[in-house]
Structure 1
Amino acid sequence: MLVRPNESDLDEFRRGIDPLASSGKLGALLAQFPASFKDSPQSRDYVNGLLRAFGGYRVAVELRHKSWSDNIGGTLQLLNAFDAAWVQIDEPKFRFSIRQNYLPNVEGFYYMRLHGRNAKNWWKHDKSEDRYDYLYSSEELREFSETADAARRLVKKLYLYTNNHFS
């Protein structure tokens, strides 16, 4: 069941980030959803409400379930209506994992997250951070560098993050 933040919670959060935003030091807000968050009318309504609540900020939305990429037109319509970036993610691919092309969907900014490819420990692990125990090879990083370079030419700002629990 999705729990929606109330206006008081949203106002408190905005008060916390507004000093960063007003000083030009806030990059983008990340709305990260788990693989269990599937495309549905209820989920779309939730994302719509979240994007509406943070309309004055850059928002990047990380969706992991394949149902969102199966309905790529509807997903892009939802995100683009708010100039929200569809977070491009690298993680192990399972049958229900989202499929992405690593292209930006809005001109304002691009957002990519590298979670590692530790498929063996992704779902079965002692600690949740064990799934991120992965060291990208130089060749893998070169591919992401090329992707970032291509995206940089299409957007005003680029964000690329790696999970570094084990660095």
Structure 2
Amino acid sequence: MGEILVGSCSWTDPALVRSGWYPRGRRDAEGRLRYYSERFPVVEVDSGYYALPSARNSGLWVERTPQGFVFDVKAFSLLTGHPTKRAALPADLRDRPRGRGLVTEVWARFAEGIEPLRAAGRLGSVLFQFPPWLGPGARGEEFVEECARLTAGWPVAVEFRHPAWWRQGQERETAALLAHHGFASVAVDMAQDLPSSVPPVTAVTSPRLSVVRFHGRSRSWGTGSKEDRFRYAYGDAELAEWAPRLRALAERAERVHVLFNNCCGDAAVRAAETMGRLLRVPQAA
């Protein structure tokens, strides 16, 4: 039986900080991470999608967390095929023409930024969340193949946002594609009655890792504000439904990362606490 690590998709979300979950005296940058890592063994660095991570910050994260604590870093938007504003780029790259040269430099800087985590054995995975317009087919497979070439040696997890990747008739081909490249598949929990709903397929495509991300079940997914999309509090019964599926994943993978992305107030960390109790797994590294 593999390990099941439960955590949330952010420890710095402003709504979480305002919620009161962090006690007085633990609300500065260092205090928040130390407090979080005393309670959970894994966290997702969602900020990596919005700005390139820095080696300095990665080094500080290693210093401020216990041995065994791991970080899943979300890949920068430009590397996943999402639109990227010039303001999100480092200042010295903002005037560069868009093209392969810029993308190559961004790949190099992203790798440099996460290197302290990788070198310390604290990089759980790099999460590539591909955009909802990247569907299965030749173009999608070529994009995944290029990603595999550029991430050789990294632990990579892939979340497809186009529903067709995991719909009936395609799921085996999708699992085979990820397995061929050694990528861990990311299963999702979300509302299932929307046009953009991704089926919660729990394929194991890497013996090392499987990932499940809980987005909440808001019906505003894809249309509302960030708060509308992620405002959802899981009930105990909804989480209990997943417990046997998560244990089944742990029978086939060395580690299972269970990450709550319903980051509105303290809903994500509360759900993670509940899931940890349901699974009877350690809630700290």
Find the aligned partners of 1:17 and 1:124 in 2 and give their Cα distance.
Answer: 32
SS of 1:43 mapped into structure 2: helix
Note the alpha carbon deviations across 1:25-57, whole angstroms, 9 max, x for none. Answer: 110000012333222311221111112211211
Q: What is the CA RMSD across the aligned residues, in angstroms?
A: 1.9
- Corresponding residue number in structure 2 for 1:155: 253
Report whether the alignment pairs 1:132 with 2:250: no
SS of 1:62 mapped into structure 2: strand
- Corresponding residue number in structure 1 for 2:264: 165
Equivalent in 93, 103, 123 of residue 6 of structure 1: 103
Aligned residues: 164
SS of 2:143 mapped into structure 1: helix
Shift of 1:129: 3.3
For normalisation by structure 2, the TM-score amounts to 0.53
For normalisation by structure 1, the TM-score amounts to 0.88
Shift of 1:138: 0.2
Equivalent in 144, 151, 165 of residue 54 of structure 1: 151
Find the aligned partners of 1:98 and 1:141 in 2 and give their Cα distance.
Answer: 18
Find the aligned partners of 2:163 and 2:223 in 1 and give their Cα distance.
Answer: 20
Structure 2 portions without partners, runs of 5+: 1-80, 83-99, 267-285
Shift of 1:79: 0.7
The structure with more radius of gyration = 2
Find the aligned partners of 2:189 and 2:131 in 1 and give their Cα distance.
Answer: 14
- Corresponding residue number in structure 1 for 2:187: 88
Query: Alignment identity in percent?
Result: 27
- Corresponding residue number in structure 1 for 2:212: 112
Report whether the alignment pairs 1:76 with 2:175: yes
Please say if residues 37 and 65 of structure 1, whose CA atoms lie closer than 8 Å, have aligned partners that are also in contact.
yes
SS of 1:81 mapped into structure 2: helix
Report whether the alignment pairs 1:64 with 2:161: yes
- Corresponding residue number in structure 2 for 1:97: 197
Report whether the alignment pairs 1:38 with 2:138: no
Find the aligned partners of 2:115 and 2:222 in 1 and give their Cα distance.
Answer: 37
Find the aligned partners of 1:129 and 1:32 in 2 and give their Cα distance.
Answer: 20
